[in-house]
Amino acid sequence: FLVRYFGEINWPAVWFGWAFVAQGLLIAVLAICCHSEAIPKGRAGVFTGLWLTGVVALPWVTVLQSGELGAMAVFGLTPDVTLAASSLVLAMMPRVWLWPLLPIPLVWVLFSAATYWALQLVWFLLLPAATLILFALGCWLSPSLARSQDPQSGHRGPVRR
């Protein structure tokens, strides 16, 4: 979509398109070659619900803005919905891999939000916002976050002496 269609009217989209392709390939290679931890069982249902929200509910935002069913932003075809749902997967990556992979999605969120703001597509601003929210929730669900916490400090309050 970015390279073939949107790139014709907005030249930075071509670069984002190829950056997303490269990043997707890198994530696939990391997933195949490197061992990553599974989501804790208690959080797997929450992860699934959030992912389904990104894949099933977010495409309707474009229908709200345009009023036409044909404008639905389908996961895997449109960049914003795809990034929103896949940001959950990105948040699950071990921190060592997350930081190098994070700039491309963050810059896209800013670029996308600026484009929607300039075009006065107010409902579309929900898509970049949803991406950030889903990413933050994905970080909360991440097994690498749970592993990095000190097991002896079960509380988050002030240190008691």
141 φ, ψ to 5°?
A: -80, -15
Count of CB atoms situated within 10 Å of the CB of 115: 16
Q: How many CA atoms lie within 13 A of 122 on its CB side?
A: 0
Q: For residues 16 and 30, give the distance between their C-alpha atoms in angstroms, rounded to a whole number.
A: 21
161 burial (CB, 10 Å; 0-12 / 13-18 / 19+) is exposed
From 7, 10, 14, 1, select the one nearest 115 (Cα to Cα): 10
Q: For the whole prediction, is pTM greater than 0.95?
A: no
Predicted confidence pLDDT, tens digits, the chain (161 residues): 777 877 788 788 888 888 888 888 887 887 777 766 666 677 788 888 888 888 888 889 888 888 888 888 877 677 888 888 888 888 878 778 888 888 888 988 998 899 899 999 988 999 999 999 999 988 888 776 544 444 444 445 444 44
**DSSP assigned state of 79:** H
